Amino acid sequence: MKKLFTSESVTEGHPDKLCDYISDSILDEYLKQDNTSRVACETVASKGLILVTGEITSKGEVDIESVVRNAIKEIGYDNSRTDIDYRTCEVLVNISKQSDDIALGVDKSLETKNGREIISEGAGDQGIMFGYACDETECFMPLPIYLAHKLAKRLTDVRKQGIIEYLRPDGKVQVTVEYEGKQPIRIDTVVVSTQHIEEIKQEKLKVDIMNEVIQRVIPSDLLDDNTKYFINPTGRFVIGGPLGDVGLTGRKIIVDTYGGYSRHGGGAFSGKDYTKVDRSASYMARFLAKNIVANGYSKKCEIQLAYAIGVAKPVSIYVDTFGTSTISEEEIIQKIQENFELTPRGIINTLNLDKPMYRQTSNYGHFGEKDLPWEKVINI
């Protein structure tokens, strides 16, 4: 049976992704100065205004306004008439310290080991986190989101490298893959919407996007005469970024993960330090799922971890291999429990999460081809 599945991605100039990038840039700056920093940093972007708010407890001293303006500059926003200008926009900062009540459970959690109580770090919040992997691509990501991210990244590359010099930072893409059974066989539809300067003619834009973006990213054997292309289907995209739509940190959680191909626990990642299991346990769940598939135990794997605030060990581990496993799911759970420490401290140590590495995760997905600790393949 044939069926279609669609995933989307956005460029780093999308207003929500601008906010993710700012929040993770602030997180990295604090971690550079104090790797025990507790950061829960949210950003709002609207017409001519950036608001940074949240809770930060750190020994570091960060000039947040400078970090914000530099992040906007790096993305390429310098025109208040069409989007936002890093030089002239207003930057408001409203930061408080982490709640002492939360810190109590995170800093010290009573656990029992071999009949005696020990103190370890607890989870920074309750929640459920999912990780997923499959063998559709070499990086063990579903093909629709894999191609969507590559298209979005290529849109940014051709702009920044001057290959298509008339593009502006905001943009969105969408890829529809046709499956026969469980195997992807062709691309059914490609959608690209990209911000541009006012003077450019749509006919030229469509030719350039087709030649320099779509055909440079999607393998030709996946395209055919029936593939449909929608390039700037509204016919005009001049006003973009925070001028066209308010941006918020953490509003692109499906883009950040598996493009809807796998379930999502609901928690966002960007702006949160490594003690927040919304982020760290999602990374760990991906690490586990990827290595289950990479080691040949299944062709697809989805893992759920669940935590209670202030409690170190997960309250549950769930594995679903969708009938593709070479060993039982009970054996897979046993391998996970025998080989991995799933407390917050165990995850931090396994993945070296107390390093300033998060800025690079905020765009084009937290999973896939990036050289990050949770993407490494090991023998288990």
pLDDT tens, residue by residue, 11-28: 999 999 999 999 999 999
Nearest-angstrom CA–CA distance, 156 and 296: 35
E strand map for the chain? 2-10, 38-46, 49-57, 90-96, 109-113, 116-120, 127-134, 167-180, 183-196, 228-231, 247-248, 300-307, 316-320
Q: How many CB atoms lie within 10 A of CB 100?
A: 9
pLDDT band at 118 (very low <50, low <70, confident <90, very high): very low
104 touches 112 (CB < 8 A): no
pLDDT in tens, 357-379: 999 999 999 999 999 999 999 99
**What is the model's pLDDT at position 86?**
98
Q: How far is CA 7 from CA 142, 170, 358, in A?
A: 9, 18, 23
Give the pLDDT confidence of 315-355 residue by residue, as tens digits: 999 999 999 999 999 999 999 999 999 999 999 999 999 99
At residue 215, the pLDDT reads 98
Q: Please give the Cα distance from 354 to 274 (Å, whole number).
A: 6
What's the CA gap between 164 and 205, in Å, rounded?
A: 9
Average pLDDT over residues 254-271: 97
Question: For residue 211, how many other CB atoms are within 10 A of its CB?
Answer: 12
Report percent pLDDT > 90 for the chain: 90
For residue 334, count other CB atoms closer than 10 A to its CB. 12
